[in-house]
């Protein structure tokens, strides 16, 4: 067994883990498993590159990796944009389970809690609507979690209409204007998500910084790859819109 076979097996397991730990199946882990299989085939049968179709696919994957590297650099730069402490904090919502925040939502809430405890004058907008399988809105679930962890409800504002990241920020901006909050914002989300969120904020005329929530290691790769797709789609759509 050579090193590439080992890497392929590790990647396959890493991308499959979310299916068993949280029944997560999305374009991220599907892509990851397919790439791991392709790497495995190359490691045990290098001669398949003589097939023109396989060679073209291999070149395409290399191009995708280069694009991913550029997008990842943007993610890393965004993480370095730290808040000063007087910003309005916006926590971006994600799936809740019934009435309970999911693991990824709890990760965001824990990061937000540290920020709110460090800066007790900060107001926070919990942003997230109610999905089909959710019994309450993501915003309400976040508000309850923060209140249970000692944050005064007077500091918490619910934005419970949004279904996408763009709506999270657009509807939160409406609340900022309505309640005369600081228009300089700090966005709280998982590390891979903050780059796209910051680009959307910029398009809305908002100055933003990042409050990063670390992602559980067994979920990170799957959601990171899915976010690469979302980022690429967003940038293409943005380019077409402003061209």
Q: Residues 140-154: pLDDT tens digits?
A: 999 999 999 999 999
Is residue 190 situated within a structural domain?
yes
Residue 205 lies in a domain: yes
Q: How many domains does the chain have?
A: 1
Domain range enclosing 127: 88-215
CATH code, domain with 199: 3.40.50.620
Residue 119 lies in a domain: yes
Element (H, E) at 213: strand 208-213
The whole-number pLDDT of residue 102 equals 93
Model confidence pLDDT, tens digit, residues 214-243:
999 999 999 999 999 999 999 999 888 776
Mean pLDDT (whole number) for 12-32: 93
**Is 198 part of a structural domain of the chain?**
yes
The pTM of this model reads: 0.93
Whether 36 contacts 12, CB under 8 Å: yes
Residue 233 belongs to a domain: no
Q: What is the mean pLDDT of residues 6-29?
A: 93
Q: How far apart are CA 59 and CA 193, in angstroms?
A: 27
pLDDT in tens, 168-227: 999 999 999 999 999 999 999 999 999 999 999 999 999 999 999 999 999 999 999 999
**Quick check: is 130 in a domain?**
yes
Beta strand pairing call for 96-97 and 100-101: antiparallel
**Domain presence at residue 187:** yes
Domain membership flag for residue 169: yes
- The end-to-end CA distance of the chain, in Å, is 50
């Amino acid at each position: 067994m050579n090193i590439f076979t080992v890497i392929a097996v590790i990647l396959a397991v890493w991308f499959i883990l979310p299916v068993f730990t949280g029944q997560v199946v999305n374009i991220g882990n599907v892509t990851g498993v397919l790439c791991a299989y392709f790497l495995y085939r190359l490691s045990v049968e290098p001669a398949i590159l003589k097939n023109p179709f396989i060679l073209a696919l291999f070149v395409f994957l290399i191009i995708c990796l280069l694009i991913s590297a550029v997008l990842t650099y943007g993610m890393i730069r965004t993480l370095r944009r730290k808040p000063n402490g007087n910003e309005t904090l916006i926590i971006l919502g994600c799936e809740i389970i019934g009435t309970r925040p999911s693991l990824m939502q709890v990760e965001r809430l824990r990061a937000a809690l540290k920020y709110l405890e460090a800066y007790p004058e900060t107001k926070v907008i919990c942003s997230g609507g109610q999905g089909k399988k959710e019994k309450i809105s993501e915003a309400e679930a976040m508000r309850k979690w923060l209140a249970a962890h000692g944050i005064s409800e007077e500091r918490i504002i619910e934005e419970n209409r949004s279904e996408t990241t763009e709506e999270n920020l657009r509807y939160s901006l409406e609340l900022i204007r309505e309640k005369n909050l600081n228009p300089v914002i700090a966005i709280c989300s998982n590390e891979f998500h903050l780059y796209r969120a910051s680009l959307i904020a910029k398009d809305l005329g908002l100055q933003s910084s990042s409050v990063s929530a670390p992602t559980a290691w067994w979920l990170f790769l799957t959601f990171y790859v899915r976010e690469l797709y979302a980022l690429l789609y967003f940038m293409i759509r943005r380019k077409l819109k402003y061209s």
